[in-house]
Amino acid sequence: MKRRHSRSSDGSSGISSGSVSVASSVCDGNQNDTSVSMTSETQLPKEETLRLRNEHLGSLTALYFRENPLKIIRAERQYMYDEEGNQYLDCINNVAHVGHCHPAVSEAAYQQMTQLYTNSRYLHDNLSTYVKRITQLFPDPLTVCFLCNSGSEANDLALRLARAHTGGSEVITLFGAYHGHIQSTIDISPYKWKNDMADKPKYVHVAPNPDMYRGPHANSASPGRDYALEVKKIIDTIKLDGKQLSAFIMESLQSCAGQVLPPPGYMTEAFRYVREAGGVCIADEVQVGFGRVGSHYWGFETQDVIPDIVTIGKPMGNGHPIAGVITTKAIADSLGNIVSSYFNTYGGNPVSCAIGHAVLDVIEDEQLKKNAQEVGEYAVKELQKLELKHKIIGDVRGMGLFVGIEIVKNRSTREPGTAVANEIHRRMKNRRIIISVDGAFDNVLKMKPPMCFSRSNVDHVVWSLDEVMSEIATSDVIKPLKPSTGTSHLEEVNVSHLSAATN
């Protein structure tokens, strides 16, 4: 059953005059409704929406495409629609994991919302069955789940659990990492530090991220071992200072750092050093969990390790704020030594748990993990073909529907092509394809689309990238320094469209 709820600002039901059709070939029969309704006549003019936002939201709040921001008013599956009914292909929303506004998820929310919405201090089957179901997706001994509302909260709780369990204070994080927007997680997020290491709290230590393209051990014969040794070096200095390690936190695959896939063996070795030093290992799966990597349900499984604590969020509620911390009973019990109880007003409420169940059902029913694997492999293969043609592509990497394209000025020096990457981003938006740019040098084109992304979507993206890159090659965005030699040494000019980085 597909229920459509549409309400205008005056509370009346908004049935559109502006129906548009979308291609039904995508998502391969999963969600076949092809009509999209919108209430353009009840919308504020776009300029007014922007004016109110500028006046009252503050300029720090991130906005895609500052130059001509999009006003998106509806979305379905991997498509979004602006106020004029234009369709955009969404290649980056990993929160809308099972597809934007999936009817099964909306229906679960609606049904439970009309029955009961209360906190987790009462018994409720939704809560008990959900935590059973989610922990069953993890290997032993990860059997306990705390529920909360955001990835930031989950990581904050993970840090508290680690401190309570180890008695330690020191935390090791990775270069380029982002773990959330609250103070404790900003502390461990070099990605957000404006003044680089000057913003680093003393208890935080930054290890090089296991980058196989441009990191210090990218060309090593054993990069996994060498990058893990960097973690050990930090542990040695912590010991020398007479301090105790609390936690090593990392995303199983780094997203904000620029779609970085750790080399084989990295997590095994790093986790061993951390545990030998009495610390715990936290895997942040807020972006990459729930089957995105295709071959496995969780990113850490691709490295054949079992973390002590795992944090999950974004895709968990397909847009509804629900997140969680999964850990061992021993670590969970340690928190009891320092606080009287865990209580979270919204975490674990029956509506969130109903939604969480629905998301898991859809992942299973529509075989989205398998789709991520097949379509993701296809995407990497097709993008690698593009790499043969366009010298500005330094690297194509990915696992499942988690793909990065590194844009460079020069393939030999690997100098980041920041301005060109941002220009590609802008021109793709003009073609109504939304990708993002990220990484330490803001030069990695990222794709992490809803999991119903199809092969024909990949073709559309690759074909458009090909055109955009060809256009750029002949425009004044890239000016060859030595045109007569035909080298790939490129200088970027004419850059006025840099957009906000994304999480």
Ligand X SMILES: Cc1ncc(COP(=O)(O)O)c(C=O)c1O
What mask of x and - would describe binding to ligand X in positions 98 to 137, judged by CB under 6 A?
Answer: ----------------------------------------
What mask of x and - would describe binding to ligand X in positions 197 to 236, judged by CB under 6 A?
Answer: ----------------------------------------
The rounded distance, in Å, linking the Cα atoms of 80 and 453 is 13
The answer to whether 152 contacts ligand X (rule: CB under 6 A) is: yes
Complex with ligand X: residue 325 or 332, whichever CB lies closer: 325
The rounded distance, in Å, linking the Cα atoms of 418 and 255 is 17
The rounded distance, in Å, linking the Cα atoms of 91 and 448 is 6
Beta strands in 84-159 (DSSP E): 87-90, 144-148
The answer to whether 371 contacts ligand X (rule: CB under 6 A) is: no
The answer to whether 151 contacts ligand X (rule: CB under 6 A) is: yes
Q: Which residue has the tokens 């840090």?
A: 159
Number of residues located near ligand X, criterion CB under 6 A: 17
The answer to whether 334 contacts ligand X (rule: CB under 6 A) is: no
Closest by Cα among 198, 93, 51 to 435 = 93
Helix (H), strand (E), coil (C) string for 347-359: CCCHHHHHHHHHH
- Candidate ranges 178-186, 336-344, 391-399, 468-476; the one touching ligand X (CB under 6 A): 178-186
The rounded distance, in Å, linking the Cα atoms of 385 and 396 is 10
- What's the angle, vertex CA 71, arms to CA 88 and CA 27, rounded to 5? 25
Complex with ligand X: residue 190 or 313, whichever CB lies closer: 313
Nearest distance in Å: CB 256, ligand X: 6
Nearest distance in Å: CB 308, ligand X: 17
Q: Report the run of H or E that residue 375 belongs to, with start and end.
A: helix 368-389
What are the tokens at 92? 């980056």
Q: Which residue has the tokens 């991220």?
A: 209
* 239-298 binders of ligand X (CB under 6 A): 251, 255-256, 284, 286-287
The answer to whether 178 contacts ligand X (rule: CB under 6 A) is: yes
Complex with ligand X: residue 211 or 226, whichever CB lies closer: 211
Complex with ligand X: residue 316 or 458, whichever CB lies closer: 316
What residue is closest to ligand X based on CB?
Answer: 151
Complex with ligand X: residue 179 or 369, whichever CB lies closer: 179
The rounded distance, in Å, linking the Cα atoms of 286 and 142 is 17
The rounded distance, in Å, linking the Cα atoms of 258 and 38 is 35
- Candidate ranges 75-83, 145-153, 353-361, 370-378; the one touching ligand X (CB under 6 A): 145-153
The rounded distance, in Å, linking the Cα atoms of 359 and 324 is 14
What are the tokens at 144? 């306990």
* 181-200 binders of ligand X (CB under 6 A): 181
What distance lies between CA 355 and its chain's CA centroid? 20
Q: Are 75 and 87 in contact (CB under 8 A)?
A: no
- Candidate ranges 19-27, 75-83, 120-128, 144-152; the one touching ligand X (CB under 6 A): 144-152
The answer to whether 83 contacts ligand X (rule: CB under 6 A) is: no
* 153-172 binders of ligand X (CB under 6 A): 155
The answer to whether 179 contacts ligand X (rule: CB under 6 A) is: yes
Complex with ligand X: residue 265 or 315, whichever CB lies closer: 315
The rounded distance, in Å, linking the Cα atoms of 357 and 359 is 5
The rounded distance, in Å, linking the Cα atoms of 215 and 174 is 12
Complex with ligand X: residue 70 or 501, whichever CB lies closer: 501
Question: In the complex, which residues of this chain contact ligand X (CB under 6 A)?
Answer: 150-152, 155, 178-181, 251, 255-256, 284, 286-287, 313-314, 503
